[in-house]
Amino acid sequence: MSRILVTGAAGFIGSHLVERLLEVGHEVVGVDAFTGYSRERKERNLAQAEGAEDFRLVEGDLLDLDLDDLLRGVDSVAHLAAESGVRASWGDDFPRYLARNVEATQRLLEALSGQSVERFVFASSSSVYGSVDGPAKEIASLRPASPYGLSKLAAEELVKLYARQRGVPATILRYFTVYGPRQRPDMALSRFISAALRGEPLRVFGDGSQMREMTYVSDVVDATVAALQAPPGGVYNVGGGDRATVDELVDHVRRALDVRIEIAHGPCAEGDVYSTWAGLELVERDLGYRPQVGLKRGIEAQVEWAREETIAPGWISGSPSKRAAR
């Protein structure tokens, strides 16, 4: 059994990762500042983990916490805490992205330099690539289209720097559009499902032809756990092997809910790329990762969770893999 620190533990992906690590026998220290969206929703994300004997939650901001104390006795770190969202990263809000994505990561890396951790896994984003015409390989040119993407790229460079100069045993994972139960409320699929459940028109940025590589949350957790077990080093794409247009995502929601959906198209959002596409050869070879949950099954699982969450806000979702299989 290892003691693993998970930053962003109360978030969408972080809470699922915490549960998986506890299931396989690790001790988990979770840290979260409870920012980004409602505290109540994040507390529900963690409700299942909170009852576990081997879980401890530290509430606080990585910019303020005593990181040496936080890291004491920790064997590995999964750094998922971040300020997310492409559209909000422009203008006056960018300093928040700079602080939480770049400065907080640098502060954590500096603290890790004096520790003997076995692995540091950094959760990056497909946003570092910008728009692509074919499967993005990890060696491709990186041309982010938003300040958010730029902040994740800057954090990646810091991780690589501390790996080279300070020996931090780091691995970088670039997640591609993650979806499933507990998805952030500002993300497209979550907004589509929520609007459809309320009988409201779906607001779609652009003409709906934009392509996205969609990755179910349990697959992202699989890849992250694999990186926490494998020899450190490397940069890997984590995609779901399924691509769909925004219009096709709406169709999946329509079929899953069996409702009529009205779509209200608007202008393209600044910073939203036209196409994302993950090349998975490297992650398959080095981490043995292969996505397991297809798009239809995954969206049905998210719809089921959202429907029950809407009916009973106190309801706690179960394992994403079990829900998808069901």
Instruction: Say which residues have a Cβ less than 8 Å from residue 128's Cβ, sequence separation at least 6.
Output: 142, 144, 149, 152, 153, 156, 174
CA–CA dist 235, 176 (Å, integer): 14
d(CA 172, CA 168): 12
216 is catalytic: no
Q: Measured between alpha carbons, how far is residue 267 from residues 107, 222, 274 in Å?
A: 38, 36, 13
Q: Strand 202-205 to strand 235-238: parallel, antiparallel, or no bridges (unpaired)?
A: unpaired
Structure tokens at 276: 């994302």
Terminal-to-terminal C-alpha distance of the chain = 30
Nearest-angstrom CA–CA distance, 205 and 271: 11
**Beta strands across the sheet bearing 76-79:** 55-59, 27-32, 3-7, 76-79, 119-125, 170-175, 235-238
Please state, in angstroms and rounded to a whole number, the distance separating the CA atoms of residues 42 and 56.
15
CA distances from 168 to 33, 78, 108, 234, 299 (A): 24, 13, 11, 12, 37
Closest C-alpha among 241, 261, 240 to residue 251: 261
Q: Which of 37, 97, 129, 148 is catalytic?
A: 148
DSSP secondary structure string, 222-264?
A: HHHHHHHHSPS--EEEE--SEEEEHHHHHHHHHHHHT----EE
Q: How far apart are CA 269 and CA 70, in angstroms?
A: 39
Rounded Cα–Cα distance for residues 65 and 69 (Å): 8
Catalytic residue positions? Answer: 148
